């Protein structure tokens, strides 16, 4: 079976795949992770808030996002964001947001719901006595959260956050449906140009498998290093 494979197509195109496709994939993954963690932390604090309307609103957002397929969210934001931007700035025509910004907004908002639950679990795992002790020392709620609770929660949840980031790295391939030249999109262009779909998609699968295995191993090593012995 492999005698019919044209592995030369991989040798001719791997530089383009990594310089264009993989660079885009890693950029989008990193930016969406940073935005998702920041927004997810705010959502987690909102869910744990004693003000019930805020808690219910954040919970509704998280549950709604997690109940909708990501590919649908990508399509919604790709077509909806230009009209929302026009409404916000008062423009008569849809604002040209661009595929990259549409994808970044989509992944940030979508992943924030998952990062929120990770952070909420990390915050709730911190003994309540530490918050009470901080308040007894004269710290306010946000001071205690910023200096006492959140640093420990981030340390405890860092391996899980990285595991979710690996999932995000895999999900970024869905931007292929918007014809964005990520790693999968770049491979698809080469495959259709040279008529070698099997070879290119096998190569893409091997690259994703190798990178995800490496990242999973790094997450396990990090978990051993940052684990707090109680």
Indicate the pLDDT class of residue 9, thresholds 50, 70 and 90.
confident
Rounded to whole angstroms, the Cα distance separating 51 from 59 reads 12
Average pLDDT over residues 104-122: 92
Question: Does residue 30 surpass a pLDDT of 90?
Answer: yes
- For 58-64, what is the mean pLDDT? 94
pLDDT band at 227 (very low <50, low <70, confident <90, very high): low
Is residue 220 within 8 A of residue 159, CB to CB? The reply is yes
CB atoms within 10 A of CB 108: 21
Average pLDDT of span 185-191: 88
Q: Is 112 exposed, middle or buried (0-12, 13-18, 19+ CB in 10 A)?
A: buried
So what's the pLDDT on residue 3? Answer: 54
With cut-offs at 50, 70 and 90, classify the pLDDT of residue 169.
Answer: very high
Q: Which of 2-16, 48-62, 207-221 has the lowest mean pLDDT?
A: 2-16
- Of 215, 22, 29, nearest to 104 (Cα)? 29
pLDDT at residue 13 in the model: 86
Share of the chain above pLDDT 90, in %: 34
User: Mean pLDDT score of the chain, rounded to an integer?
Assistant: 86
Spatial neighbors of 221 by CB under 8 A, at least 6 apart, are: none
114-142 tens-digit pLDDT: 999 999 988 888 888 888 888 888 887 77
Q: For tokens 């954040």, name the residue.
A: 58
Phi, then psi, of 140 in degrees rounded to 5: -80, 180
The token pair at 133 is 């002790």
Q: Residue 211: is its pLDDT beyond 90? A: yes
Structural domains of the chain ordered from first start: 2-226 (1.10.3720.10)
What is residue 86's three-state secondary structure? helix
Considering only residues 16 and 196, tell me which one the structure prediction assigns the higher pLDDT: 16
In this prediction, residue 147 carries a pLDDT of 82
**Predicted TM-score (pTM) of this structure:** 0.86
Residue 219 tokens, joined: 């997450």
> Across the chain, which distance is largest between two alpha carbons, in Å?
74
C-alpha distances (whole Å) from 177 to each of 124, 188, 197 are: 38, 11, 17
Per the rule left: phi > 0, alpha: psi between -120 and 50, beta: everything else, 129 is alpha
């Amino acid at each position: 079976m492999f005698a019919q494979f044209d592995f030369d197509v991989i040798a001719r195109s791997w530089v383009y795949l990594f310089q264009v496709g993989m660079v885009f994939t890693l950029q989008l993954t990193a930016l969406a992770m940073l935005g998702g963690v920041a927004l997810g932390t705010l959502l987690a604090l909102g869910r744990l808030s004693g003000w019930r309307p805020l808690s219910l609103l954040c919970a509704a957002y998280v549950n709604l996002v997690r109940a909708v397929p990501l590919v649908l969210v990508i399509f919604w934001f790709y077509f909806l964001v230009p009209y929302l931007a026009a409404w916000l700035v008062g423009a008569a025509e849809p604002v040209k947001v661009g595929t990259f910004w549409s994808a970044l907004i989509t992944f940030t908002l979508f992943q924030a719901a998952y990062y929120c639950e990770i952070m909420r679990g990390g915050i709730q795992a911190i003994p309540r006595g530490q918050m009470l002790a901080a308040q007894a020392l004269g710290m306010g709620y946000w001071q205690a959260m910023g200096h006492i609770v959140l640093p420990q929660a981030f340390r405890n949840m860092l391996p899980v956050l990285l595991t979710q980031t690996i999932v995000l790295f895999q999900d970024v391939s869905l931007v292929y449906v918007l014809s964005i030249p990520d790693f999968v999109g770049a491979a698809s262009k080469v495959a259709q140009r040279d008529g070698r779909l099997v070879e290119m998609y096998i190569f893409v699968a091997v690259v994703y498998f190798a990178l995800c295995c490496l990242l999973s191993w790094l997450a396990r090593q990090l978990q051993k290093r940052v684990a707090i012995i109680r």
